[in-house]
Amino acid sequence: MLADRLARYTQSLRFNELPGDVVHEVKRRLLDSLACAFGAWASTPCRIAREMALAVKVPCGATVWGTNHQTLPDLATFANGAMVRYLDFNDTYLSKEPAHPSDNIPAVLAAGETVHASGQLVIQAITLAYEIQCRLCDAAALRPRGWDHVTYGPISSALGIANVFELTEAQTRQAVNLAGVANIALRQTRVGDLSMWKACAFSNAARNGMFAALLARRGMTGPAPIFEGEKGFMKLVSGLFELPMLGGEAMPGGEPVPFKILKTCIKQFPVEYHAQSAVEAALALRAELIETEGKTWLDKLADVEIGSYDVAIEIIGRDPEKWHPSTRETADHSFPYCVAVALVDGRVNMNSFSPKRLRDPRLHELMKHIHVVKLSELEHRYPMTMPTRLTIRTSRGSTYSRQVDQPLGHPGHPLSDEEVEDKLRRLASRRIDRARLDRLIDLVWHLEEQHDIAACMPLLRVRS
């Protein structure tokens, strides 16, 4: 049974058996996640989630990031996870089902703080959570069946937490059963005009994963077999699937299976990942058009074509609301808006999605000239690459085209360590002073030397 296999794997993973590049990538993802979290500190959904967590005080609980307040670990998971996710700037994994596997990190850290876990154990558990979520995304697509990708989140989070709690194999199996039975999420979260819940959907899934692990730790049992049962996950949610081999397991030739964290993507821009290539192409074409057509090039624009593949079009280039976004959540999941703001402003950053920018008539006028088409020659290249071909035609009959296959941050075109650090400094500098950021960055790069992950929390306090 799959739950048994997952429990055994969770028991078997050991820090000293993790390759050095995997450990390094965990540190990079932690820095990236903290950058996203503090960039989102003041947002409305994050404030609401934080207020929920601050309403409950628990000595020796888990810290609400940015404060010195400790609360229930599931509430801390919810509040901190919403911050990581809100900007749509955290890392991505794209397969049959897309995911943002760094969404698991707040849950692992909350669990680690409550049991005073070492940095090595936290790195091990984050690696595990990434591995489980990504392999589930490889195994079966949920989106076509009407379920949201965060449905895999309670399972991956529960296993990462079980690893931190050092649950027995039997307890870990029950954590999977409990996480899988009650936390199926509707895809409506990402359809049409998107709401604040987009930022909270996975943090809620991880909160439920935390609750499942806490129950299992105390002896609660859950329905089994949760995946293969008559009314189980495969029959009602995912369809029949076989989970691929997991990172570190021995292949037939004896070589270990590579860990999936190495195939996840860090974002250069705060937009849905399928739009990363489009924004990069738009910025390059803008520079070319200014050089060849002059500063008034925008007045000469007649048509903008975004050429992409089925999955990208379904997620960010199909719904009518993508051409009339009224919320940040809709705009950063909109091919036409992301391309329009890149062409007009010459940059895409957090300010690109402010209420003022969303109402800018220039952007809405430009979006009238943008259309999205499927290019069959790009279809087979996903998910190995994320190609987008942007074509701009002018009223004078000139045509400009640029295709980007691997945007900066893709495993084939990675951000440097310095660029990841810069992302944290850029997004967190309004909340955390430079000296404390320096100490935080140094701590993360030496995380395996930490005896107690709780020592990190004071470094996350924001300026009053």
Q: Does 248 lie in the same domain as 124?
A: yes
Q: Does 217 lie in the same domain as 92?
A: yes
Cβ atoms of residues 450 and 456 within 8 Å: yes
Percent of the chain topping pLDDT 90: 92
Question: What local confidence, expressed as pLDDT, does residue 452 receive?
Answer: 97
Give burial (CB, 10 Å; 0-12/13-18/19+) of 234.
middle
Q: Does 51 lie in the same domain as 164?
A: yes
Alpha helix stretches (DSSP H) within 140-261: 153-165, 169-181, 197-217, 233
Radius of gyration of the chain (CA): 22
Measured between its terminal Cα atoms, the distance across the chain in Å is: 51
Residue 232 lies in a domain: yes
Residue 411 lies in a domain: no
Q: Does 381 lie in the same domain as 324?
A: yes
Cβ atoms of residues 274 and 336 within 8 Å: no
294-333 pLDDT per residue, tens: 989 999 999 999 999 998 999 999 999 999 999 999 999 9
Q: Which domain holds residue 346?
A: 273-404
Q: Does 309 lie in the same domain as 237?
A: no
Residue 174 lies in a domain: yes
Q: Does 38 lie in the same domain as 185?
A: yes
Q: What is the CATH number of the domain that holds 293?
A: 3.30.1330.120
Quick one: tokens of 308? 């992409």
Question: What local confidence, expressed as pLDDT, does residue 126 receive?
Answer: 98
113-149 pLDDT per residue, tens: 999 999 999 999 999 999 999 999 999 999 999 999 9
Q: Does 50 lie in the same domain as 176?
A: yes
CA 154 to chain centre: 14
Q: Which residues contact 338 (CB under 8 A, 6 or more apart)?
A: 269, 271, 272, 275, 278, 279, 282, 316, 331, 332, 348
Mean pLDDT of 15-42: 97
Q: Does 312 lie in the same domain as 167?
A: no
Read off the DSSP letter of residue 92.
B
Q: How many domains does the chain have?
A: 2
Q: Which of 374, 404, 434 is the last residue of a domain?
A: 404
Quick one: tokens of 44? 């409305």
Residue with tokens 């707040």: 106
Give the strand pairing for 388-394 and 301-308.
antiparallel
Question: What local confidence, expressed as pLDDT, does residue 122 receive?
Answer: 98
Residue 412 lies in a domain: no
Q: Does 14 lie in the same domain as 123?
A: yes
- Pick from 234, 267, 240, 256: nearest CA to 93: 267
Question: What local confidence, expressed as pLDDT, does residue 142 receive?
Answer: 96
Q: Does 189 lie in the same domain as 73?
A: yes
Residue with tokens 């079966």: 140
Q: Is the pLDDT of residue 464 over 80?
A: no
Q: Does 388 lie in the same domain as 423?
A: no
Residue with tokens 């990363």: 276
Q: What is the CATH number of the domain that holds 194?
A: 1.10.4100.10
Q: Does 263 lie in the same domain as 312?
A: no
CA 158/CA 137 separation, integer angstroms: 16
pLDDT band at 402 (very low <50, low <70, confident <90, very high): very high
Residue 409 lies in a domain: no
CA 454/CA 50 separation, integer angstroms: 19
